[in-house]
Amino acid sequence: MSKAPEQTGASAMWGGRFAGGPSAVMQRINASIDFDKRLYAQDIRGSKAHCAMLVETGILSPEDGAAILDGLETIHREIESGQFVFRTELEDIHMNIEARLAELIGDAAGRLHTARSRNDQVATDFRLWVRDALDGMEGALKELQATLIDKAEAHADAVMPGFTHLQAAQPVTFGHHLLAYVEMFGRDRGRLRDARLRLNECPLGAAALAGTSFPIDRHRTARELGFDRPAANSLDAVSDRDFALEFLAAGAICAVHLSRLAEELVIWTTAQFRFVALSDAFTTGSSIMPQKRNPDAAELVRAKAGRVIGALNALLVVMKGLPLAYSKDMQDDKEPVFEAADTLELSIAAMTGMIRDLSVNTLQLKDSAGAGFTTATDIADWLVRVAGVPFRQAHHITGRIVRLAEDQGCTLEELSLADLQAVDPRITAEVFGVLGTEASAASRTSFGGTAPANVAAAAKAARQRFL
């Protein structure tokens, strides 16, 4: 005669064929409760939908259904209030909740798992969790965009040096620079929305891998859980983690964007640049150097991209080469996603705060806008436009003018007309009209260009498109 699990130490959930229980090490490597407890709300939601469907299809009696729903509500309250005792020997959130349900309502609890497996259960829970994370992140990015657009609008006409190779290139406006990030975060939001469309199919009812012999209604559970439809193939439904990978991929690209903006803040706040100042709320002092104001939040946002990229890599490697259908490897899908979601939430919030509080040193921006002969292209363009010189020649002539200014240790604007005409006699006094950084920026009126009028219009358009 076989012994009851409580006498052998085997799992009460699956220990029927086991004579002994798992070793302590086995429990440690096998248990996921320490991290998958974060799925409790989704697990309860999924179970409620499953239970309601079982009652509606006549698989479960209304009385058992009512007892189960009641018990699940109690458990939800117990977890929210911190009273619930999570047990490692019960492995994961699914079995912790089911075991507690049995304590609360007795035998009826054992009927909830009809026509379901932990494989479709966890896939459903995790999709619901990632869906919330996607929505939360999209909302946070929208707020960041709103903050950037406000700042951009306020500084639509503040000229600054634009860079390529981090070498002064051409004057741009500060507003224009910020709106570049609005575009980047807009694409990030697009990727999240796009991922959501593919995510939004319901695995529940795929059961272990093959579907079930019970007359379940997968469309009903899908609808109740806010999915667009049930996943079409039961094997795919329990094996697929594309939705998590897509979230991480979109998150990793977003983290890269955040790190680029963070890096610019780090550069811009140095004594050498002084383009912007961060608020006290987002900087720290040095314990030895009283003058210091360190951009720690920006540096940490820059650093944290590593975690998100790492999470994407981790899950890609977990999934690579896994045969269909479920493998326990997939239990390792959650921590990277949780870590990335937490990191992104914090990074976006920190960036939003830094940008909101940012003070812009418009004088310093203007002073440095011309350094590095940033209006050289404007001379070349002027030679083309006014004197009919082919651009390649104009480029060469301007190069000689730059060398002259370099030799004299002055800016392009400070060269005399005689100096300029010595390089090329076709140059007239009119050229001084394009040598100033403000005139240069104002002349860039092509679509998507940096002219203040464009930037003001682009900020307005961005509000329409993104907010």
Q: Which candidate in 165, 287, 359, 446 is catalytic? A: 165
From residue 210 to residue 249, the character string flagging contacts with ligand ARG as x (rule: CB under 6 A) and all else as - is: ----------------------------------------
Q: Which is nearer to ligand ARG, 71 or 203 (CB)?
A: 203
81 catalytically annotated: no
Q: Closest separation between CB of residue 91 and ligand ARG, Å?
A: 6
Q: Closest separation between CB of residue 105 and ligand ARG, Å?
A: 23
From residue 326 to residue 355, the character string flagging contacts with ligand ARG as x (rule: CB under 6 A) and all else as - is: x-x-xx------------------------
Gap between the Cα atoms of 275 and 290, Å rounded = 21
226: left (phi over 0), alpha (psi -120 to 50) or beta: left
Query: What one-character-per-residue DSSP string does 381-415 give?
Result: HHHHHHH---HHHHHHHHHHHHHHHHHHT--GGGS
Q: Closest separation between CB of residue 466 and ligand ARG, Å?
A: 36
Helix orientation angle between 452-466 and 174-199, rounded to the nearest 10 degrees: 20
Please list, in sequence order, all residues whose beta carbon lies within 8 angstroms of the beta carbon of residue 449, skipping any fewer than 6 positions away: none
Q: Closest separation between CB of residue 241 and ligand ARG, Å?
A: 10
Please list, in sequence order, all residues whose beta carbon lies within 8 angstroms of the beta carbon of residue 349, skipping any fewer than 6 positions away: 140
Please list, in sequence order, all residues whose beta carbon lies within 8 angstroms of the beta carbon of residue 374, skipping any fewer than 6 positions away: 161, 162, 168, 169, 170, 171, 437, 440
Q: Which is nearer to ligand ARG, 26 or 461 (CB)?
A: 26
Choosing from 50, 116, 118, 177, the residue that interacts with ligand ARG (CB under 6 A) is 118
Q: Cα dist. 120→89, 106, 124 in Å? A: 21, 24, 6
Q: Closest separation between CB of residue 94 and ligand ARG, Å?
A: 6
Q: Closest separation between CB of residue 18 and ligand ARG, Å?
A: 14
Q: Which is nearer to ligand ARG, 321 or 388 (CB)?
A: 321
Rg (CA), the chain: 31
Q: Which is nearer to ligand ARG, 37 or 223 (CB)?
A: 37
Query: What number of chain residues touch ligand ARG (CB under 6 A)?
Result: 10
Gap between the Cα atoms of 452 and 174, Å rounded = 9
Q: Which candidate in 2, 23, 61, 286 is catalytic? A: 286
Count of CB atoms situated within 10 Å of the CB of 172: 26
Contact status, residue 57 vs residue 216, Cβ threshold 8 Å: yes
Please name which of 295, 269, 275, 299 lies closest in space to residue 284, comparing C-alpha atoms: 295
Kindly identify the residues of this chain, within the stretch 389-418, that bind ligand ARG according to CB under 6 A.
none
Task: Tell me if 119 contacts ligand ARG by CB under 6 A.
Answer: yes
Kindly identify the residues of this chain, within the stretch 129-158, that bind ligand ARG according to CB under 6 A.
none
Please name which of 423, 461, 429, 456 lies closest in space to residue 441, comparing C-alpha atoms: 456
Q: Which is nearer to ligand ARG, 120 or 381 (CB)?
A: 120
DSSP state at residue 4: P
From residue 64 to residue 93, the character string flagging contacts with ligand ARG as x (rule: CB under 6 A) and all else as - is: ----------------------------x-
Choosing from 13, 15, 32, 46, the residue that interacts with ligand ARG (CB under 6 A) is 32
Q: Which is nearer to ligand ARG, 63 or 132 (CB)?
A: 132
Q: Which is nearer to ligand ARG, 165 or 320 (CB)?
A: 320
Alpha helices in 81-224, H assignment, sequence order: 93-105, 118-154, 174-199, 218-224
Kindly identify the residues of this chain, within the stretch 273-332, that bind ligand ARG according to CB under 6 A.
326, 328, 330-331
Please name which of 104, 102, 122, 85 lies closest in space to residue 5, comparing C-alpha atoms: 102
50 catalytically annotated: no
Q: Which residues are catalytic?
A: 165, 286
- Residues near ligand ARG (CB under 6 A) are 32, 36, 92, 118-119, 122, 326, 328, 330-331
